[in-house]
Structure 1
Amino acid sequence: MRIQILCGAFAALITSFAHADAIGDLKQFLGSTHSLKAQFTQSVVGKGKTQTSTGNVAIVIPGKFRWEYQKPYQQLIVGDAKEVWLYDQDLKQATSKNVANALESSPAALLAGDTSWEKNYTLKALPDQDGLAWLEATPKRDDSSFEHIRLGLANGQIQRMDLFDKFGQTTQIRFSQIVTNPKLDTGLFHFTPPKDVDVVRE
């Protein structure tokens, strides 16, 4: 009986360490990553419908990012650490926001922002699933548009982001072809609206 109890306690201890690794992996990722590029598949689930899109992302920490939707529609979100542009090619509209008001405009903004997630989020380790170490980040600010965010990591890299907003909508993102600390052209993070588009400043 004692052996069974000890084995059970040891297994629980090993499991708790495995879960805690997700938070450690996130800290290591943020501490060692200065730039990143990847492909993504994004699925937005809400009201019984799922919308899927694909594209590319490029990030330079802190504050610079380019989140480019390619299919099924072409849209672009660009941040240069001061200003964030949202450009819809089909609608011919470009919207500019101060970066302080647009930190949650895209997952890239979250990844490229303040690397001290513990300052802005309460972190909780979750059980491993689908071969990934998971953690949950709950915003400390009441005015956040997200209820919580789940991050899945493997091999020291973020592979999944699941964002749960306050309107019952879930955004699931899978990253692939991840390259950390590449040299990126600074022009990727600057946006000049084309002359034939409507410009909205917020």
Structure 2
Amino acid sequence: MTRFSLLALVWVAGSACASPASELQAKLDANPAFQAKFQQTVTDANHKVIQSGSGVLALAQPNHFYWHLTQPDESLIVADGKDVWIYNPFAEEASVLTLDQAIATSPMTLLVHRDAASWQQFDISEQDSCFTIAPKTADSGVQQVSVCFNGNQLSEISLNDNQSNISRFSLSEQKPISADDVIFQFTAPDGVSIDDQRNGAHE
């Protein structure tokens, strides 16, 4: 067997053994930090559109996440590498959780998290450049998350909740950023009530 044939055989064998989780991680690692705009469409169990919106998404490894829905009702989620902030400007309320607490409730955080134990909490499958991430336990508020790629670029995210609603987010205008970008920093505005759930404390 020639050296080229041997290398080709090793490559084919490695590809055949690659799991959906490792394939997903490889695609995420190829584009580790970016910002994009998104268009949101929410449909119910009968495929009827019940809400449309838009906003900005940013991801950066490790553990940096920014989700700003600007229309129709503003809301903000920021993971700064250590804590996760959930801010409701209309109610003037913010909650803060540890990253581990957030991972326990949403598969979305896997997009920026590389802890092997956390990935083991989810089942991951692949079909046609799309990956479905589903929690192994039934107590999550999100049944599953699907992410689709155009090459190595994340192009669409879908969330299925426990009410059978599906939220689809189509991404556009992507640009590279870094994990120390100011977008991943959150400071609660004056007068905002903060629910600190990191240690069971409340402010």
TM-score range, shorter-chain basis?
Answer: 0.7 to 0.9
* Shift in alpha-carbon separation, 1:109–1:118, aligned structure 2, 3 A: closer
Q: Percent identity?
A: 24
Residue aligned with 1:183, SS: coil
Which of 178, 183, 201 is matched with 1:188 structurally?
183
SS of the residue 1:143 aligns to: coil
What secondary structure does 1:125 align onto? Answer: strand
What amino acid sits opposite 1:124 in the alignment? S
> What amino acid sits opposite 2:164 in the alignment?
G
Match of 1:38?
36
User: How far has the Cα of 1:115 moved from its partner?
Assistant: 7.0
Q: Deviations over 1:172-197 (max 9, x none)?
A: 111111234x3355432221211122
How far the C-alpha of 1:103 sits from its partner, in A, is 2.5
Q: 2:10 corresponds to which residue?
A: none
Kept after mapping to 2: 8 A contact 1:65/1:79:
yes
Match of 1:136 among 117, 132, 138: 132
| CA contact 1:77–1:106 (8 Å) conserved in 2 | no
1:7-55 CA-to-partner distances (Å, cap 9, x unmatched) read: xxxxxxxxxx9xx998776332222233111111122223655212211
Partner-residue secondary structure (3-state), 2:103:
coil
Query: Residues 112 and 32 (structure 1 numbering): CA distance in 2 closer, same or farther, change over 3 Å?
Result: same
Does structure 1 residue 201 correspond to structure 2 residue 196? yes
| Corresponding letter in the other structure for 2:43 | V
Q: TM-score, normalised by structure 2?
A: 0.72
Stretches of structure 1 that go unaligned for 5 or more consecutive residues are 1-16
Q: Is the CA contact 1:42–1:174 (under 8 Å) kept in the aligned structure 2?
A: yes
Moved over 4 A (4+): 20-25, 104-108, 115-118
Q: Is the 8 A contact 1:121 1:137 kept in 2?
A: yes
CA RMSD of aligned residues (A): 3.0
Contact 2:148 2:154 in 1 (8 A): yes
Q: Distance in 2 between matches of 1:24 and 1:84?
A: 25
